[in-house]
Structure 1
Amino acid sequence: MASSSRLPKHNWTKEEEEGLIESLMELVNAGGLRSDNETFRLGYLNQLARMMAFKIPGSNVHASTIDSRIKLLKRMFHSIADMRGPTCSGFRWNDEQKCIVAEKEVFDNWVKSHPAAKGLLNKSFPHYDELSYVFGKDRATGGRVESSADVRSNDSAGYESFAADFAPNTDFQPMYRSRIEHVA
């Protein structure tokens, strides 16, 4: 049973979706609303709602509606990116139609282990390039993935050493006191 506090389902127009994609790209360009892991910080949905209201007067798109649409777009984008990735064979990208192309059997087998990809075969996804700019770095994929053996973050080559001019205070107070009671 639906809660009465929920907004009615929003049917996105092409203009609204294009405005959302454009606004997302502007947020990425502006900086300041992304965390170190390339995901958006709190408050970005309200900012997007304001941007959408400015771009498309009369559009009644709320932050929760935007959140729902972004989750859908992100899920579709990552599914397509996985199918286009170097470790996946049998899929092609039709740049003219902006869709994934594959034999039906290959696609159906893929969907068994990747249910988020359901319905994406031959389905146009015109904003793939823009969304790769927005979502492309929020998770490691393909050739950029490193195992713990590949990571060289502890390699000191190329770094100059420095002398610490202070002695660290290592005199810590105990966090708890042992209370052993002796029973006579």
Structure 2
Amino acid sequence: MEELAEGLGGNNGHATWTSAQSTFMLTNLANVVASGTKTSKGFKKVHLNACARALNEKFATKRTGEQIKNHLKTWSRKFAKINRLRKLSAAGWDEDNFVITLDADHYNSHVEVHKADAEYLNKPLEHFAEMQIIFGNSMATGNFAKDSSAPLGAEDVETDTEEDAAQGPADGINTPNNDAASSSASRPKKKAKIAENEDDGLIKAFKSVGTDLAEAIKTAGKPDTDLPSDLFDQLKSLPGFEKTHVSFYFSYLVANPHIGRAFYALPFEHKIDWFALFITERFPGQ
């Protein structure tokens, strides 16, 4: 995946994101959603700042919460475009591998006009599961985020208009009579189709990210206070954490058993992500 560059807030400089850094950010914030701490209006500033601190620690960068927010907008536009391409009249959808499928004739016809769409068609979509978790429920509204108080996953009006104009007809397949069909009278119908994403909410998102994570979320809803007997042993086995951190996080899980059970059910690498996120929030600067 190519490196991505975005403007920094009000500066003229650019922040270059590597594939590894984007992966870390998306995984980190998807885990925040999985833990139930994301609000209905998106991520709070504390979530973005904690993600920046964790990323800086891992990659020795100097990211800010504002840069995390801006990079999220880049991925929200990707997710919006993917959802539009999934609605091409000739497109299929491979749910297991996250692939928008087109037969050879339709693919060649579409890509000939929309060359930039080739990276989204007939190949696995990188980080689709994480994007679905982070943006899935917000995308159903068709409104794209403009600031930290607006729902995440909503694209700027200017960007949406430009992509609609470049995309042409709603199905993306050009015919000799398409010039009339792509008039302004047909635009409202295309935009209205975005709202059909309402069925692709968080329930489907959690299903797509994998059996382990979905099971963790389901387990988190249990009302009892029981915790696995070897939970503390699992915490001690995680590399890179001090004894004080282990004790502190264990006391937190005991006080919040529903989170403790969800943590226990996670795969090994996700346990590390959850633990690291908690420590960066509670012990900033360490």
- How high is the TM-score relative to the length of structure 1? 0.56
Task: Give yes or no for contact 1:48–1:63 (8 Å, CA) kept in 2.
Answer: yes
Q: What do you get for the CA RMSD once the two structures are aligned?
A: 3.3
Looking at secondary structure, tell me which structure has more helix per residue: 2
CA distance in 1, matches of 2:64, 2:118: 30
The residue number in structure 2 matching 1:75 is 77
- Report the secondary structure of 1:11's partner residue: strand
The residue number in structure 2 matching 1:120 is 117
Task: Give yes or no for contact 2:53–2:63 (8 Å, CA) kept in 1.
Answer: no
The residue number in structure 1 matching 2:107 is 103
The residue number in structure 2 matching 1:46 is 49
Task: Give yes or no for contact 1:99–1:122 (8 Å, CA) kept in 2.
Answer: no
Task: Give yes or no for contact 1:98–1:128 (8 Å, CA) kept in 2.
Answer: no
CA distance in 1, matches of 2:59, 2:107: 43
CA distance in 2, matches of 1:97, 1:18: 16
Counterpart AA for 1:121: A
Counterpart AA for 1:83: L
Question: Does 2:133 correspond to 1:133?
Answer: yes
Question: Does 2:30 correspond to 1:33?
Answer: no
The residue number in structure 1 matching 2:24 is 19
Gap regions ≥5 residues in structure 1:
112-117, 146-184
Determine which structure has more spread, i.e. the larger CA radius of gyration. Answer: 1
- How high is the TM-score relative to the length of structure 2? 0.38
The residue number in structure 2 matching 1:153 is none
Gap regions ≥5 residues in structure 2:
1-6, 141-194, 200-286
Aligned residues: 131
CA distance in 2, matches of 1:46, 1:7: 22
Shift in Å, 1:65: 2.0
Q: Identity across aligned pairs (percent)?
A: 20
